[in-house]
Amino acid sequence: MRFVIRRAGFFLLTLWACLSLNFFLPRLMPGSPADRIIAHLHGAVSQATVRAIELSLGINNTQGIWTQYVAYLGHTATGNLGFSYSQGEPVSEVIAGALPWTLGLVGITTILAFILGTAIGAVAAWRRGSRFDSVMPPLFVFTTAIPFFWVGMVLILIFSVYLGWLPAGGNIGQLAIPSFSPSYLGDVLVHAILPALTLLITGIGGWVLTMRNNMVTTLTEDYVRMARAKGLSSARVMVDYGARNAILPNLTGFAMSLGFVVSGAILVEYVFNYQGVGYYLLNAVGYDDYPLMQGLFLIITVAVLAAILLSDIATAILDPRTRTAG
Amino acid sequence: MALPITTGQAAGPLEPGRELTAAGQRRWSALRRFSRAIRTNRKATIGVVLMAIFIFVSLFPGLLTHQSPTAFSSDITAAPSAAHWLGTDNIGADIYAQVIDGTRNVMILAIAVGALTTAVAMVIGVAAAYLGGLWESVLSFVTDVLLVIPIFPLLIIIAAYFPNAGNLVLILVLSFTGWSYTARQLRSQAQSLRNRDFLLAAQVRGERSFYIIMVEIIPTMTSLLLASFLNNALYAVLAGSGLQFIGLGKSNNVSWGTTLYWANQNAAWTTGRYLWFIVPGLCIALLGVAFAFINYAFDEIGNPALRPLSAAKARKAAEASTRRRLASHGARAR
């Protein structure tokens, strides 16, 4: 319990660091964000409009920077993230519309990649020296090194352009009406296959390699030899004695991999025009829509921190050693 | 942004005998072991050969193409031909020349970010472990925060404030956001060394902290530093190309990511200009693979347990497991 509280405290501090970054970054950079927004409006802008834009960005030249900072923290804590002028609605509503798509896509593919990758890694280590083991690790070293967006482009080329099986982009068909009907859900699924496959192909390698390497070390332990000597079945020794102990570093790695997955999701959403958080983030960058940019960065950070906290708690439950250490 | 692949103890503690041999001799034998490892480890061979090709192309692009990668021409989005091996882009520039000339920019990015990130991580990680106390708490906190913040969105936001950022800005931004993982590895490595005799001896001699860190601690981490360099270079290639691909960075910078950006903007797959994005993307992948394979091979060299078994050894292992199985059957029968 003390471990969890300490971790939660660390995450609150991290969140505060992110908020401060969000606040000070635009103010440290050359040029005012308001100027750039005004440049997008093409034309004469009255003093009153400039003032309104500055106010909507939270820039208030009459107050000191610290007053503004405290006000910003207060607004964020109460869920007021400002107004996105490129989307024409409050930032919180843009986020509410985009987040489920990204969470669904990233959540499902991450869990799939973790399960599949761990299983492949465990089998490769168990059959060490077999053909399976000589092909798999180099193959996955290769997949970890190829860029996400390129995998996405190649998949579009094969499955949409060449074979014509799957749509090349978007989250739903243009005529689809949101409902819980099978046809709508099928439409959602069909649009998610290629983005998910892209994330899976590039994301699975890390799990395979880490698991194989841990498992190779674990299998030399005495308790594994003991299990064999007891005459337990191969499957039992592999899963209950080998994999179960080798999986712990992979669980910790879960936290590390999230940043990787998030970056992949942004690029994949861009390639597939999949309207999730990453898609809107890049859109916001294109329009210099700072409130939306900051809000999306904040929500991505919160999501990642929450996931890491969960994986920390899971590790603490599964591995008593972590509760006392660090 | 590659997921760092952990393989247990990357750099083992010093072998006791090694400290006694003369430095020059040690370096020679290390070099010999290294070159033998490259020849015998297939992954290392592939990685080194690929790397040599990319280095050659980035040093002598003039030998491979005489066309300008940015020159306008009326021949826009042309199909591959004898004059333009990979066709031309939306302004009529030769894509093959972009791939060849872009190699240098990508290599500079990879090597500079790999070296800078590792250097920053080394200073911060080792200082945190060695200085202890308040310094350790502050530096560790900064490292841990940077470790859990999603870096790529942060990069996007920072890059958004630098419209038309060239290679230099990209290098600096990638380096100052990407050091945290390495710093943590180096910190724990340095912590394990903290109370070793040779460091206490240096303290008793009255050496300054700076000297101890630079001369006594850092040389013991060479293999870890090398692995970090390769990992960070891979990260730079993927993250840098990713940023250029989404249009952050100078749009007339000759680089693989930029070529891909224009291919995507012009929906090259719908117009049949497949090579426009396949070739630069494949180059990124192959350069990434070169870094990853060399790194993986180092891991195998340093940690024999990870090596793939040779056929003869595999047979022996299989026989042993059959014998074990027979024995266990026997045990069960009893």
Q: How confident is the prediction along chain B (334 residues), in pLDDT tens digits per residue? A: 444 444 433 344 444 444 444 555 666 666 777 677 777 777 788 888 888 888 888 887 777 777 777 666 667 666 677 666 667 776 667 777 777 788 888 888 899 999 999 999 888 888 888 777 888 888 888 888 888 888 888 888 887 777 666 778 888 888 888 888 888 888 888 877 777 788 888 888 888 877 887 888 888 787 788 888 888 898 888 888 888 888 776 666 778 878 888 777 777 667 777 777 888 888 888 888 888 888 877 777 666 666 665 555 555 555 555 555 555 544 443 3
Q: Residue B115 has what pLDDT?
A: 92
CA distance B218 to chain A (A): 24
% residues pLDDT > 90 (chain A): 0
Radius of gyration over alpha carbons of chain A, in Å? Answer: 24
Q: Looking at the partner chain, which of B3, B239, B260 has a beta carbon nearest the beta carbon of A257?
A: B3
Q: Which H, E and C letters describe B72-109, residue by residue?
A: CCCCCCCCCCCCCCCCECCCCCEHHHHHHHHHHHHHHH
Contact yes or no for B152/B190 (Cβ under 8 A): no
Q: Looking at the partner chain, which of B2, B6, B160 has a beta carbon nearest the beta carbon of A253?
A: B6
pLDDT tier, A12 (very low <50, low <70, confident <90, very high otherwise):
confident
pLDDT tier, A187 (very low <50, low <70, confident <90, very high otherwise):
confident
Q: Looking at the partner chain, which of A147, A278, A285 has a beta carbon nearest the beta carbon of B281?
A: A147
Average of per-residue pLDDT across A191-216: 84
| B12 shares contact with chain A (CB less than 8 Å) | no
Grouping H, G, I as helix, E, B as strand and the rest as coil, residue A90 is strand
Record: contact B2-A18, CB cut-off 8 A: no
Ranges of beta strands (E only) in B98-213 are none
| B98 shares contact with chain A (CB less than 8 Å) | no
Q: Of A302-306, A317-321, B298-302, B325-329, which range is least confident?
A: B325-329
Q: Residue B116 has what pLDDT?
A: 93
Query: pTM for this structure?
Result: 0.78
Most distant CA atoms of chain B, gap in Å:
87
CA distance B268 to chain A (A): 10
Q: Tell me the angle at which helices B222-245 and A244-272 cross, rounded to the nearest 10 degrees.
A: 30
Q: Which amino acid is at A272?
A: F
Q: Report which listed range, A123-127, A250-254, B305-309, is most confident.
A: A123-127
Q: Of A129-133, A315-319, B7-11, which range is least confident?
A: B7-11
Phi, psi of B203 (to 5 degrees): -65, -40
Contact yes or no for B157/A25 (Cβ under 8 A): yes
| A264 shares contact with chain B (CB less than 8 Å) | yes
| A210 shares contact with chain B (CB less than 8 Å) | yes
Average of per-residue pLDDT across A107-113: 87
Place of tokens 């039992």: A236
Long-range contacts of residues A221-226, Cβ cutoff 8 Å, at least 24 apart? A221/A245
Contact yes or no for B129/B216 (Cβ under 8 A): no
Average of per-residue pLDDT across A192-198: 85
Higher pLDDT, A10 or B166: A10
Residue B12 — left, alpha, or beta (φ > 0 → left; ψ -120 to 50 → alpha)?
beta
Q: Which residue of B has its CA nearest to A249?
A: B6
For residue B329, CA distances in Å to A167, A239, B317, B332 come to: 55, 20, 18, 5
Element spanning A83, H or E: strand A83-84
% residues pLDDT > 70 (chain A): 81
| B312 shares contact with chain A (CB less than 8 Å) | no
Q: Residue B330 has what pLDDT?
A: 43
Q: Residue A208 has what pLDDT?
A: 86
| B309 shares contact with chain A (CB less than 8 Å) | yes
For the cut 80, the answer to whether the pLDDT of residue A169 exceeds it is no
What is the pLDDT of chain A when averaged over all its residues? Answer: 78
Q: Of A132-141, A158-167, A221-230, B193-202, which range is least confident?
A: A158-167
Q: Can you tell me the distance from the alpha carbon of B154 to that of B180, in angstroms, rounded to the nearest whole number?
A: 14
ipTM value, please give it.
0.79
Q: Looking at the partner chain, which of A129, A259, A304 has a beta carbon nearest the beta carbon of B1?
A: A259
Q: Residue B16 has what pLDDT?
A: 44
Total Cβ atoms within 10 A of residue A66: 8
Name chain A contacts of B159, Cβ cutoff 8 Å: 285
